[in-house]
Amino acid sequence: MGSPAKSVLVAAVALVAVVLEIGLVGANFQDDCDITWEPQNAKMDEGGNHLTLSLVSNSSGCMLRTKKQFIFGSVSTRIKLVKGNSAGTVTTYYTSSIGDNHDEIDYEFLGNVSGQPYTVHTNVFADGVGQKEMQFRPWFDPTADYHNYTIFWNECMIVWFIDSIPIRVFRNYSAQGVPFPTRRQMYAFSSIWAAEDWATQGGRVKTDWTKAPFVAEYRDINLQVCDCASYVGDAGCPESCASPSNWYAAPDLCQLSKAQLRQMRAVQLGYTIYDYCADSERYNGTVPPECGMPQY
């Protein structure tokens, strides 16, 4: 990335407080989550505020899922990714519904050989329709310290944040026929798993299993969401979740602020490595309809 774009990003971070106040005090993996896959590969300490997920073999990773189901709001956690040679590993933080035609909002962190940068992979599914990927190189070392990853979601848009910096927006154009998740209740998930067939350089670089276990560390999980605990079924959450009185439905949260937009443009200018909207070859010379619609 050239220095002017980096300067814009740094200045925006220094001068602008993000609209969303992401408080992490009091979050607790032990109280708020269950280990749903390979619990022997998860460890919690510090009263449940610190979590490690380990990938031990190509068939034995680990997954954590929130106890709450929800629709709309903000979910965030801090992650320190696998150090050293992490090729073929995938560490995740995402939201997803359960069942057919699912909805999902993704952060996936694709490992790499020592000294090479991770790939930050984002995607969104609605009514079972996905393939809306954007990928980024991080502008920091995600293995050296914890960084805060946030998914914000309301009826207007989805925003992916890293350390309060928006990196991507996906707006609701369901009225124009573009699927958008507004109905199915979701859980938040964290996991680590093996994907050496595709994760690193298209699968050309395989996992060095002599380096196992591969360990990702998490601190804090914060759920500022509309809780669906009292609702049973796949038809959605209570109608009150769509009420304009909810904090996430405030008019100024239906678009980025000017400062946030500058931050996002700096990230996308300098660190985007794949954008499905720029991949016309994938779509036989065209792109999906939302690619021609304003996202900001």
Give me the DSSP letters along 74-128. EEEEEEEPPPS--TTEEEEEEEE--SSS--EEEEEEE--STTSPPEEEEEEEBTT
**Percent above pLDDT 70 for the chain:** 88
Distance of CA 186 to the CA centre of its chain: 13
Position 228 confidence tier, pLDDT thresholds 50, 70, 90? confident
Span 35-59, average pLDDT: 96
User: What is residue 35's predicted lDDT score, i.e. its pLDDT?
Assistant: 97
Q: Check pLDDT > 70 for residue 20.
A: no
User: What is residue 239's predicted lDDT score, i.e. its pLDDT?
Assistant: 79
Sequence-distant (≥ 6) Cβ neighbours of residue 159 within 8 angstroms: 151, 152, 153, 166, 168, 169, 256
For the full predicted model, state whether its pTM sits above 0.75. yes
Report the C-alpha gap between 52 and 159 in whole angstroms: 26
Cα dihedral angle (28, 32, 37, 41), rounded to 10 degrees?
20
User: What is residue 240's predicted lDDT score, i.e. its pLDDT?
Assistant: 84
Q: Check pLDDT > 80 for residue 87.
A: yes
Judged by average pLDDT, the poorest of 2-6, 11-15, 51-55, 109-113 is 11-15
User: What is residue 180's predicted lDDT score, i.e. its pLDDT?
Assistant: 97
> For residue 11, which amino acid is it?
A
Position 13 confidence tier, pLDDT thresholds 50, 70, 90? very low
Report the C-alpha gap between 214 and 172 in whole angstroms: 37
Judged by average pLDDT, the poorest of 10-14, 92-96, 124-128 is 10-14
Span 6-18, average pLDDT: 40
More confident site: 240 or 151: 151
The single residue listed with the structure tokens 């660190």 is 271
What separation in angstroms does the CA of 285 have from each of 89, 257, 280, 282? Answer: 33, 33, 5, 8
Q: Check pLDDT > 90 for residue 14.
A: no
Q: Check pLDDT > 70 for residue 157.
A: yes
Vertex 93 angle, CA 114 and 45, to 5° = 85
CA-nearest of 190, 187, 191 to 229 is 187
Q: Check pLDDT > 60 for residue 214.
A: yes
**Considering the domain 33-292 in this protein, what is its CATH number?**
2.60.120.200
CB contact at 8 A, 269 and 1: yes
Q: Known catalytic residues?
A: 104, 108
More confident site: 230 or 172: 172
The single residue listed with the structure tokens 């740094």 is 10
Sequence-distant (≥ 6) Cβ neighbours of residue 46 within 8 angstroms: none
Q: What is the mean pLDDT of the chain?
A: 89
Span 3-9, average pLDDT: 45
List the domain boundaries for the chain.
33-292
